[in-house]
Amino acid sequence: MRVYNFAAGPSTLPLDVLQKAQQEFLDYNGTGMSVIEMSHRSKPFMEINTRAQENLRKLMDIPEDYYILFVQGGASQQFAAVPLNLLKTGKADYLLTGNFATKAYEEALKYAPVTAVCSSKDKNFTYIPDLKTVKFNDDADYTHFTYNNTIFGTRFSEIPNVKNTLVTDMSSNILSEVIDVSKFGLIYAGAQKNIAPSGLTIVIVKKDLVDNGNPHPLCPTMLKYSTQAKADSLYNTPNTFSIYMANLVFEKLLKDGGVPAMQKINEEKAKLLYDFIDNSKLFINPVQKKDRSLMNVVFNTGNEDLDAKFCKEAGQNGIVSIKGHRLSGGMRASIYNAMPIEGVKHLISFMEKFELENK
């Protein structure tokens, strides 16, 4: 029996996608071999690579003046790739709203004295700073923010309005809600939360930033966006299986109504869970309501021993990977696109039972 997997990533994938991959695993499309055995330069795989780009462009309504790159190294590698490709004056603004936002900032500091223009560390990253009070540097090369905070359960309900290039890490909320790609110069996302198995990173970058860019002289060839763009993401051997899996997910989303339909379901899932927590006498969500994530719902009982008991008993009830990150403690339910609403209802039912038994 399959469990409800609330892991933050690698995370649950759609069952029908897994079943299709299983059916095709030994013989993809009559080739007599598995996708994982194919040359990345073979015609069958190059067709998969092209379709994946085309389907993602449809799903996110990505304008033609943007490259779609499939790279490796995770979002963490992009913490270095972004400044190495985009810094010209040496100035960039970073919004510190969580662990990964801070890591991106610290990595960029290796290459230039970039600026942390705001931070929510004072309250353990349980809110998003009021953007109206943030003093952005108009002459910065770019402004970087992490759209959704996986660990602390926050998200930006509005995006920064800046005069320079807007860059965002969208690893944990890509394809979960409608966004206007044209407002960004660069979007990057690890695929292992909402799209595919680990090992694939998606970069959506405006072509003029690449074609007219001037990467740092020490920027490794593999980290240059121009390298990947010129080679159609096939400069070296990519994670072929994850690209194949990503395309299966893209096809499913297109069939199911696209991102608008997915956003509606995600909002419904999040509302069910947050409403239960808000009306509970045992469970607490520490995040300011206006900044609550649609993807990662954090909660706790205020008692570490009781939290541990909850996680143990949850596992016995088919609810796995519910334990919170070590930096935030408590519990965390990652309710990404592939988490069915039945999974959220099952979690709420267990929480209700646990509360009655642990008054």
Considering only the top CATH level, what class is 15-255?
alpha beta
pLDDT, tens only, 253-277 = 999 999 999 999 999 999 999 999 9
Residue 1: pLDDT above 90? no
- Please compute the mean of the pLDDT values over residues 230-236 and round it to a whole number: 97
Residue 211: pLDDT above 90? yes
What is the chain's mean pLDDT, rounded?
A: 97
- Please compute the mean of the pLDDT values over residues 75-90 and round it to a whole number: 97
CATH of the domain spanning 258-357: 3.90.1150.10
- Please compute the mean of the pLDDT values over residues 283-299 and round it to a whole number: 98
- The per-residue pLDDT for 28 is 98
- The per-residue pLDDT for 15 is 97
Confidence of residue 171 (pLDDT cuts 50, 70, 90): very high
% residues pLDDT > 70 (the chain): 100
pLDDT, tens only, 36-45 = 999 999 999 9
Domain limits, CATH 3.90.1150.10, in the chain: 258-357
pLDDT, tens only, 89-101 = 999 999 999 999 9
β-strands 148-149, 92-96 pairing: unpaired
User: 3-state SS string over the chain?
Assistant: CCCEECCCCCCCCCHHHHHHHHHHCCCCCCCCCCHHHCCCCCHHHHHHHHHHHHHHHHHHCCCCCEEEEEECCHHHHHHHHHHHHHCCCCCEEEEECCHHHHHHHHHHCCCCCCEEEEECHHHCCCCCCCHHHCCCCCCCCEEEEECEECCCCEECCCCCCCCCEEEEECCCCCCCCCCCHHHCCEEEEECCCCCCCCCCEEEEEEHHHHHCCCCCCCCCHHHCHHHHHHCCCCCCCCCHHHHHHHHHHHHHHHHCCHHHHHHHHHHHHHHHHHHHHHCCCCCECCCCHHHECCCEEEEECCCHHHHHHHHHHHHHCCEECCECCCCCCCEEEECCCCCCHHHHHHHHHHHHHHHHHCC
String of b and e for 81-104 (b: at least 16 CB within 10 Å)? bbbbbbbeeebbbbbbbbbbbbbb
- The per-residue pLDDT for 38 is 96
Domain limits, CATH 3.40.640.10, in the chain: 15-255
